[in-house]
Amino acid sequence: MRTLLGFTSVLNCIYGHAMTTFSETFANTADFKTVLTDKTGEAFVREGFDATWGKVNVSDRPDLADFQCNGALAVAKQAKANPREVATKITAHLTGDTAIKSLEIAGPGFLNFVLSDSALSDRANALSADERLGAPVVETKRKVIIDYGGPNVAKPMHVGHLRTAVIGESLKRIMRFMGDEVIGDAHFGDWGYQMGLLITAVSDEQPDLPYFDETFDGEYPVHSPVLLSDLERLYPFASNKGKENAEYRDRARKATRELQDGRKGYRALWQHFVDVSKTSLKEDYRILGVEFDLWNGESDADPFVAPMIEELKAKGLLETDQGAEIIRVAREDDKAEIPPLLVVSSEGSAMYGTTDLATIKQRREEECPDLILYAVDQRQSNHFTQVFRAAYLAGYASEGQLEHIANGTVNGTDGKPFKTREGGVLKLGDLLAQANSAASVRLHEAGLGKGLSDEDFNKTTWQIAVSAIKFAELSNHRLTNYVFDLDRFMVFEGKTGPYLMYQAVRMKSILRKAVEQGVSAGEIIVTEAAERELVLLLDGFEAALKETYLKRAPNILADHVYRLAQTFSKFYAACPVLIADTDAQKSSRLALVKLTLAQLEKGLDLMGLTAPEVM
RNA sequence: GGCUCCGUAGCUCAAUUGGAUAGAGCAUCCGCCUUCUAAGCGGACGGUUACAGGUUCGAUUCCUGUCGGAGUCGCCA
């Protein structure tokens, strides 16, 4: 379910900046990787090679170096030269830099950079002073709509809905933080045949309601005649009956049509369905920390369908085929056969793709986005190919402005699509409650949270529970068909959300104690190995965010955040802060803790998580 | 059958334009709480990256094929 809309064209959008596609580049780049890349690139240029060969990466041999450049190998291959000789010439241009403690040629021609402690100290202090904690900003701000969620009326959310909600929310936060203007749209599934099914089911169960009396001209009741539980019960019932019983199906279709044609009682009843469902959905999303800017539904797109069809006709894009109106979207070089987009079915109704296409038109006219991302299951990839091509043909967007951010499926521990042990669907709300209960038990077992009020204790367990679920989700690449194993997520040991929470809590604890003891943060002076490692990690925030942004892959951010927490934990064990030998060391390490906490909390926030004060 | 995605340690997952010794967590084993929270830290064990070829100085990564899994292929969404 995706939405639609569209009235008349808004000229300044159609002919304005939205037709421009931006290259995705970033502004402030002060991390070691970039600085070293610039320097090394310059060295390559001075040897007559392209600067791009100077790309420096974090070393994958931390025992040998902090950073490395593989460019000499590649350029030598192209120039048919000896890689070690090339590397020698490059290093000659890089001597005399005090930031570089050592630069060595290793193996077949790798350049190994080791940075000086003072360079690390300087960088750490700069990060401390940077309110963005080293995060990059996009060079050109764009307006982005992210379409994620896709919840439906009468269908409770389940684990499958977690994927798009959690990934979409994270991408929204990341892009927004990096400077884009981002609108999150829930794209509520509130229209179509399923609504007709519900109306039919309610009319059979409660035929005396005024909604079904066409002669009724009074005020319809304010309160809904159905509860959420009724909808959840009626929908599967009606859906099955519609499949088995042709007469029932026809009644539901008729109801659908009448609803869409504006039959008053049906509209009023439908509004109750929408309100009841939305209230429940919003509660689930609230717990998950997912916030939409728009709750546009498919119904909001409905008024735009008819004008759009006229427009498509006028443009000569529509073709009648087997009684339906279609747009052909196949291309010469297609490997797979891409079927045409069905705009009007042979029964005269709007289809899934119709709604989506109209939604693109609506968004263009109402929001004029530079980019629309669809965080939707990969199984709909054909659908989006069709819709996107149709949109390009219709001029509702230009090539590259529409992207399907596909995700894999969520499986159970048996490798099949997730089901409860009883074989049923586990409702998201129940799942969250289970996780919360597990967190509560764990906290009690550990004898923690005793000093907390009931309210704070409850808040803490939810933060831990949600972190377990969301981090498990986000640490997988979005295309992975991952196994959802709540028991494993709830163990709270190792690479889990609660681990991240725990490290944040330890940092906060140190900060509180520092205040008590009158220790204040000062200049960071890096000396210990654990400090070096931590600063290098902090420096990597920028690169991790860039990568996450370009690939629309929050697992890269999740990995950075985890490694940051892990590296801090190592530092925590190796480098006492408040009981360090000297005051300067205390101040330095305290500043490092503050910086680490700030970046960790920012990273958590970008994943839609918040750490408690105590756990 | 066509097309898409996937196949990495016993399990769940990573791997930055093709780079050095393929990394984490869990599980198993060994250490570490009279210093800031042990939901922690250190270490060990664990791999023919499904298989067979090809390109390359170098392949988990690119190409071809085989096997295995998932998905999808116009009037559902």
Residue A246: CB less than 7 A from any atom in strand B:
no
What is the distance in angstroms measured between the alpha-carbon CA of A489 and the sugar C1' of B40?
18
In tens, the pLDDT along A393-429 reads 999 999 889 999 999 888 888 777 777 767 777 889 9
Beta strands at A67-69 and A110-115: parallel, antiparallel or unpaired: antiparallel
Spell out the residues 6+ positions from residue A297 whose beta carbon is closer than 8 angstroms to its own.
Answer: A3, A187, A188, A189, A190, A191, A274
What is the distance in angstroms measured between the alpha-carbon CA of A31 and the sugar C1' of B53?
43
Spell out the residues 6+ positions from residue A436 whose beta carbon is closer than 8 angstroms to its own.
Answer: A461, A462, A465
Which of A97, A129, A161 is a domain's end point? A129
Residue A506: CB less than 7 A from any atom in strand B:
yes
Residue A286: CB less than 7 A from any atom in strand B:
no
Can you name the residues that pair with A145 across neighbouring β-strands?
A183, A372
Asked if residue A2 has pLDDT above 70, the reply is no
A318-332, A418-432, A566-580: range with lowest mean pLDDT: A418-432
CATH number of the domain that residue A544 is part of: 1.10.730.10
Q: Is residue A573 part of a domain?
A: yes
Q: With H, G, I as helix, E, B as strand and everything else as coil, classify residue A512.
A: helix
Rounded mean pLDDT, A545-570 = 95
Tell me how far CA of residue A25 lies from CA of A28, A103, A140, A178, A404, in angstroms. 10, 29, 8, 11, 21
Spell out the residues 6+ positions from residue A480 whose beta carbon is closer than 8 angstroms to its own.
Answer: A408
Q: Is residue A57 part of a domain?
A: yes
What is the distance in angstroms measured between the alpha-carbon CA of A532 and the sugar C1' of B19?
25
Q: Looking up tokens 């860039």, which residue turns up? A: A546
What is the distance in angstroms measured between the alpha-carbon CA of A232 and the sugar C1' of B13?
35
Q: Per CA to C1' distance, which residue is closest to B24?
A: A495
pLDDT at A22: 67
| Residue A578 lies in domain | 428-479+493-606
Which of A71, A102, A129 is a domain's end point? A129
**CA geometry: angle at A539 spanning A532 and A57, to 5°?**
95
Could you list the beta-strand ranges (E) of A368-420. Answer: 371-377, 402-407, 410-411
What is the distance in angstroms measured between the alpha-carbon CA of A439 and the sugar C1' of B28?
27
Tell me how far CA of residue A467 lies from CA of A453, A495, A558, in angstroms. 21, 11, 12
Q: A110: part of which helix (H) or strand (E)?
A: strand A110-115
Rounded mean pLDDT, A584-609 = 98
Q: Looking up tokens 């998950």, which residue turns up? A: A288
Handedness of CA A388, A393, A397, A401 (dihedral sign): positive
Rounded mean pLDDT, A382-394 = 95
What is the distance in angstroms measured between the alpha-carbon CA of A158 and the sugar C1' of B50?
33
Tell me how far CA of residue A575 lies from CA of A570, A571, A590, in angstroms. 8, 5, 11
Q: Is residue A221 part of a domain?
A: no
Nucleotide with minimal C1' distance from the CA of A54 is: B17
pLDDT at A18: 44
Nucleotide with minimal C1' distance from the CA of A2 is: B77
Cα separation of A259 and A212, whole Å?
Answer: 11
Residue A222: CB less than 7 A from any atom in strand B:
no
Nearest to A565 by CA among A489, A501, A491: A501
What is the distance in angstroms measured between the alpha-carbon CA of A240 and the sugar C1' of B41?
56
In tens, the pLDDT along A168-218 reads 999 999 999 999 999 999 999 898 888 999 999 999 999 999 999 999 999
Residue A116: CB less than 7 A from any atom in strand B:
no
Q: Is residue A317 part of a domain?
A: no
pLDDT at A13: 60
Residues belonging to chain A: 615
CATH number of the domain that residue A71 is part of: 3.30.1360.70
Asked if residue A166 has pLDDT above 90, the reply is yes
Asked if residue A247 has pLDDT above 60, the reply is yes
Question: How many domains, in total, are found in chain A?
Answer: 2
Banded pLDDT at A564 (limits 50, 70, 90):
very high
Q: Is residue A383 part of a domain?
A: no
Nucleotide with minimal C1' distance from the CA of A443 is: B39
Q: Is residue A113 part of a domain?
A: yes
Nearest to A611 by CA among A501, A485, A469: A501
List of A residues 91-110 with CB within 7 A of strand B: 106-108, 110
Q: Is residue A122 part of a domain?
A: yes
Asked if residue A144 has pLDDT above 90, the reply is yes
What is the distance in angstroms measured between the alpha-carbon CA of A479 and the sugar C1' of B6?
9
Spell out the residues 6+ positions from residue A543 whose beta carbon is closer than 8 angstroms to its own.
Answer: A31, A33, A58
> Judging by beta carbons within 10 Å of its beta carbon (0-12, 13-18, 19+), is residue A286 exposed, middle or buried?
exposed
What is the distance in angstroms measured between the alpha-carbon CA of A491 and the sugar C1' of B28?
18
Residue A338: CB less than 7 A from any atom in strand B:
no
List of A residues 407-466 with CB within 7 A of strand B: 408-409, 411, 415, 417, 439, 442-443, 446, 448, 464
Q: Per CA to C1' distance, which residue is closest to B23?
A: A60
List of A residues 143-182 with CB within 7 A of strand B: none
Q: Write the secondary structure of A177-194 as one string of H (helix), E (strand) and C (coil).
A: HCCCEEEEECCEECCCHH
List of A residues 197-216 with CB within 7 A of strand B: none
Q: Is residue A548 part of a domain?
A: yes
Residue A337: CB less than 7 A from any atom in strand B:
yes
pLDDT at A283: 93
Yes or no: say if A51 and A62 are a contact pair by the CB < 8 Å rule: no
Backbone angles phi, psi at A10, to 5 degrees: -105, 110
Yes or no: say if A600 and A500 are a contact pair by the CB < 8 Å rule: yes
Cα separation of A105 and A83, whole Å?
Answer: 10
What is the distance in angstroms measured between the alpha-carbon CA of A478 and the sugar C1' of B11?
20
What is the distance in angstroms measured between the alpha-carbon CA of A526 and the sugar C1' of B16?
26
List of A residues 345-374 with CB within 7 A of strand B: 345-347, 349, 351-352, 355
Cα separation of A442 and A478, whole Å?
Answer: 29
pLDDT at A171: 96
A119-128, A193-202, A333-342, A463-472: range with lowest mean pLDDT: A333-342
Q: A276: part of which helix (H) or strand (E)?
A: helix A264-288
Nucleotide with minimal C1' distance from the CA of A107 is: B20
In tens, the pLDDT along A12-60 reads 465 444 445 567 889 877 899 999 999 999 999 999 898 989 999 999 8
What is the distance in angstroms measured between the alpha-carbon CA of A13 and the sugar C1' of B44?
63
What is the distance in angstroms measured between the alpha-carbon CA of A383 and the sugar C1' of B73?
11
What is the distance in angstroms measured between the alpha-carbon CA of A421 and the sugar C1' of B27?
23
Q: With H, G, I as helix, E, B as strand and everything else as coil, classify residue A295.
A: coil
Q: What is the mean pLDDT of chain A?
A: 90
Nucleotide with minimal C1' distance from the CA of A461 is: B39
What is the distance in angstroms measured between the alpha-carbon CA of A260 and the sugar C1' of B34?
76
Cα separation of A65 and A50, whole Å?
Answer: 24
Q: Per CA to C1' distance, which residue is closest to B22?
A: A60
What is the distance in angstroms measured between the alpha-carbon CA of A379 and the sugar C1' of B3?
13
pLDDT at A589: 98
pLDDT at A446: 84
What is the distance in angstroms measured between the alpha-carbon CA of A77 and the sugar C1' of B52?
28
Q: A106: part of which helix (H) or strand (E)?
A: strand A100-106
Residue A112: CB less than 7 A from any atom in strand B:
yes
A260-269, A303-312, A409-418: range with lowest mean pLDDT: A409-418
User: Which bases on strand B have an atom closer than 7 Å to a protein beta carbon?
Assistant: 2-6, 12-17, 19-21, 24-27, 35-42, 56-58, 70-77
Q: Per CA to C1' distance, which residue is closest to B32?
A: A573
Which of A114, A129, A144 is a domain's end point? A129
Helix axes A32-46, A71-79, angle to 10 degrees: 30
What is the distance in angstroms measured between the alpha-carbon CA of A363 and the sugar C1' of B53?
50
